[in-house]
Amino acid sequence: MNLDMDQAQKILMDWFEKNQQVAIDTSKKIWDLAEIQFEEFESSALLSNWLESEGFTIERGVANMPTAFVATYSTADKPVIGIIAEYDALEGLGCEIADTHIPTGKNGHACGHNLFGTASTSAAIAIKTAMEELGIKGTLKLFGCPAEEGGSAKVFMVRDGVFDGLDAMIAWHPANATMCTMASSLAIYGVKFAFHGIAAHAGVTPHLGRSALDGAILMDVGVNYLREHMTTSCRIHSVITNGGIAPNIVPSEAEIYYYLRAPQRSEVDDLFERVKDIAKGAALMTGTTVDYKIVSASSNSISSKAISEVALKNLLKVGGPKFTPEEYEFAAKLNVDVKLQDKLENMMFMYHISDEHCKDDLYEGIGESMLEGTTAPYSGDSGDVSWQVPFASYNVACQTVGTGNHSWQQTVCAGMGIGQKGMLVAAKALSLTGVELMTSPDILEAAKKELDDKLKNYPYTSPLPDGATPFDN
């Protein structure tokens, strides 16, 4: 179909002009709900009900997850274009919308997924409007994906075939800067090691006890020595999730929870083998036993250059978010403790954006380097989706320069105009890209060939262990 993209753009932008307040209100409702992984019942319902009211067919509870859904609008079997939506919050990171940290003790959207899910949903409805008005043939799917924060929901959805049959997938994420990124995310395993010992009175009969906590601590000491002997792009993080009950009892049970990250799945596998050996050694030293359970896992991402080039072109058409003087003033207060070096590292290391922008508290531009061939320092379960279908993703400025994800500052920005302006930029760019892909068989064919060529030498295998369920962690 020869599509007049100027006409399509006008239809899409008119839709946003009429409906942007609905999108803003929806994002704020999800921000207020702040439901954590696998508990996003109201957030999921808000988005799926909105899509249903606009004429999408909804399949709820996909891949045995009550808060996952697929929304479909179809005028023809092919092509099939997908959009990812997320909406889970983070535990304990709730705070008031203020320029100083006022924690509420509740959960919070410190990764901006209230914006993510709303922008994607808005884009899907706008695309459907353009499809109807312009007679565009194809199928549009919005994937409601819960539990990105450690739940690996999309990996289970991949395993169950939810993403089969797609020709392209587009997504986005709130960030400090705006760009279309081809940087690969890190592969990750989330693993819990449980040590089992013998309880005893810590003062009277310590010689009869075998401390499971000692095993966990010695394991962590060993893992810390391993850090010297792994590649610099690998990451290991841990928390002790069970350290015993009382200090006068030798702990019979202890658990330590690790995240293991590396640029490639194969590297995570190698790292995991070494960590398992350290656990065995710690158990041997302490007279305990140890077992482990992989509770989450995802692969590194592989982006499509063919799709990403279209995505960047449309992002440039939309332009970056434009913030008000009041928002700049507010951002400066949020950044009062953020050092210039933090801004430099944030913008240049993460986004390869020149240092001229690093003195600013908000970023209004668009980075045109797609970071092809680079590795980002984060992980996400969209990685596994990218091995199934040609994939492209945006970062859009929704928070202050120099602050990180999972911070109170991002929780604040996600609930106010700074985040909402970025959200609308993302939604508009997604909608333009979705319509263009729907009417560009040559681009879809090039993207398919590109992915097929990549997978010839590295076929996909699920990182999930046999029998894993979404609720194991």
pLDDT digits over 439-453, tens only? 999 999 999 999 999
pLDDT at 348 over 80: no
| Spatial contact of 139 and 78, defined as CB atoms under 8 Å apart | yes
Is residue 218 exposed (0-12), middle (13-18) or buried (19+ Cβ within 10 Å)?
A: buried
| Spatial contact of 30 and 109, defined as CB atoms under 8 Å apart | yes
Q: What is the pLDDT at residue 430?
A: 99
Residues 268, 409: one domain?
A: no
User: Could you tell me the residue range of the domain that residue 268 belongs to?
Assistant: 187-298
Mean per-residue pLDDT, 84-108: 98
Which two tokens mark 389?
Answer: 């279908």
Q: How confident is the model at residue 364 (pLDDT cuts 50, 70, 90)?
A: very high
User: How crowded is residue 140: how many other Cβ atoms within 10 Å of its Cβ?
Assistant: 25
Q: What is the pLDDT at residue 473?
A: 64
| Spatial contact of 189 and 260, defined as CB atoms under 8 Å apart | yes
Residues 324, 415: one domain?
A: yes
Residues 193, 330: one domain?
A: no
Residues 53, 97: one domain?
A: yes
Residues 164, 308: one domain?
A: yes
| Per-residue pLDDT tens over the stretch 86-95 | 999 999 999 9
Where does a domain end: 298, 314, 336?
298
Residues 96, 16: one domain?
A: yes
Structural domains of the chain, count: 2
| Whole-number Å distance between alpha carbons of 449 and 301 | 17
Q: How confident is the model at residue 218 (pLDDT cuts 50, 70, 90)?
A: very high
3-state secondary structure of 456: helix
Residues 219, 273: one domain?
A: yes
Task: Flag the least confident range among 52-61, 212-221, 227-236.
Answer: 227-236
Q: What is the pLDDT at residue 283?
A: 99
| Spatial contact of 182 and 386, defined as CB atoms under 8 Å apart | no
Where does a domain end: 298, 316, 336?
298
| Per-residue pLDDT tens over the stretch 416-440 | 999 999 999 999 999 999 999 999 9
- Domain CATH for 102: 3.40.630.10
Domain assignment present for residue 470? The answer is no
3-state secondary structure of 8: helix
Q: How confident is the model at residue 168 (pLDDT cuts 50, 70, 90)?
A: very high
Residues 83, 38: one domain?
A: yes
